[in-house]
């Protein structure tokens, strides 16, 4: 395996943080990750990341390990640590990064995520790859654009009521639409994504954060909602709008990262 040095990065914390679903654990700190219809292997040994199957540049981009992002990350952790709760979360999950996933795969993954759980989402995506994807040895790759073309087969992937959403969304995901999406501002992309069936504010924010590099995106799921209400609003119920406004105020351009730390911490309680 080839290798390169990494700083302030934990492969395990990042992969298993609930932001990505297409991976297999091969060993401790050793994963096979599916992205862009392909797959690669990564293994962390302290401050060294070993890899094979994709280029160093690809992997640095996927895990946001570029020098520019390293600077942003260190600064973000400093800033966020002025908040007592985030300070604890950062200490507990240091090295947790925001990934940069392929847009379509991210959309479909998070459509599967509605009212589900991580192990089931992983299972859904694995089944989708098995039924629609290309086989390479014993490994099934994620289907290419337009490849998910049968609603009945989607139900065999245990996606339930989400089968129709995935099927209809896939039809609208053209190469042109995906390209335009990448050039939009956060607000525009957030709105545009919600026109897709099965995509509401939470899924749209996940795609903005985990695929489109919009650092201000603040996905609010049951865990994050619970965490924010408990720690910042004395356990009083708040609307989605109020929670997002709070995040913008409190965390600003680091909101996305803050959200991921909050999510992981709350879920481990």
Partner DNA sequence: GTCCAGGGTCGAG
Partner DNA sequence: CTCGACCATGGA
Residues making contact with DNA (CB under 7 A)? 17-19, 110, 113-120, 155, 158-161, 165, 194, 196-204, 206, 219-224, 239-241, 259-260, 263, 267
Q: Closer CB to DNA, residue 51 or residue 126?
A: 126
Contact present, 246 and 232 (Cβ < 8 Å) = yes
Encoded tokens for 193:
């994504």
List Cα–Cα distances, 203 to 38, 84, 106, 193, in angstroms.
23, 28, 9, 9
Q: Closer CB to DNA, residue 51 or residue 256?
A: 256
Q: Closer CB to DNA, residue 51 or residue 69?
A: 69
Distance in Å, CB of 5 to DNA, minimum: 26
Contact present, 62 and 22 (Cβ < 8 Å) = no
The C-alpha atoms of residue 101 and residue 124 are separated, in whole angstroms, by 18
Q: What's the burial of 28, exposed, middle or buried (CB within 10 Å: 0-12/13-18/19+)?
A: exposed
The beta-strand segments (E) located in 6-156 are 23-27, 30-35, 38-45, 48-52, 135-136, 139-140
What are the counts of helices (DSSP H) followed by strands (DSSP E) for the chain? 14, 7
Distance in Å, CB of 115 to DNA, minimum: 4
Distance in Å, CB of 116 to DNA, minimum: 5
Q: Closer CB to DNA, residue 179 or residue 239?
A: 239
Distance in Å, CB of 74 to DNA, minimum: 21
Q: Closer CB to DNA, residue 146 or residue 200?
A: 200
Q: Closer CB to DNA, residue 71 or residue 117?
A: 117
Q: What's the burial of 34, exposed, middle or buried (CB within 10 Å: 0-12/13-18/19+)?
A: buried
Q: Closer CB to DNA, residue 50 or residue 158?
A: 158
Distance in Å, CB of 253 to DNA, minimum: 17
Distance in Å, CB of 264 to DNA, minimum: 7
Encoded tokens for 266:
């709350």
Distance in Å, CB of 225 to DNA, minimum: 9
Hey, how many other C-beta atoms are within 10 angstroms of the C-beta on 61? 15
The C-alpha atoms of residue 252 and residue 244 are separated, in whole angstroms, by 10
Encoded tokens for 187:
């607000």
């Amino acid at each position: 395996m080839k290798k390169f040095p990494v700083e302030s990065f934990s492969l395990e914390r990042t992969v298993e943080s609930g932001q990505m679903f297409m991976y297999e654990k091969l060993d401790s700190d050793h994963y096979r990750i599916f992205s862009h219809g392909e797959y690669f292997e990564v293994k962390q040994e302290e401050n060294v990341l070993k890899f094979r199957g994709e280029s160093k540049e690809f992997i640095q981009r996927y895990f946001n390990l570029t020098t520019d992002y390293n600077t942003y990350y260190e600064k973000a952790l400093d800033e966020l640590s002025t908040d007592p709760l985030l300070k604890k979360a950062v200490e507990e999950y240091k090295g947790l990064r925001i990934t940069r996933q392929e847009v379509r795969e991210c959309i479909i993954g998070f459509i599967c995520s509605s009212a589900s759980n991580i192990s089931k989402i992983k299972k859904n995506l694995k089944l989708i790859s098995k039924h629609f994807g290309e086989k390479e040895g014993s490994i099934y790759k994620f289907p290419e654009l337009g490849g998910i073309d049968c609603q009945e087969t989607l139900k065999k992937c245990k996606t339930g009521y989400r089968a129709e959403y995935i099927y209809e969304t896939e039809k609208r995901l053209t190469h042109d639409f995906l390209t335009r999406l990448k050039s939009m501002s956060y607000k525009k992309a957030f709105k545009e994504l919600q026109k897709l069936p099965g995509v509401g504010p939470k899924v749209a924010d996940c795609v903005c954060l985990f695929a489109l590099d919009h650092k201000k995106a603040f996905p609010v799921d049951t865990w994050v909602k619970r965490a924010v209400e408990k720690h910042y609003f004395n356990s009083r119920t708040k609307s989605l709008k109020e929670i997002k406004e709070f995040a913008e105020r409190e965390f600003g351009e680091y909101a996305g990262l803050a959200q991921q730390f909050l999510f992981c911490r709350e879920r481990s309680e």
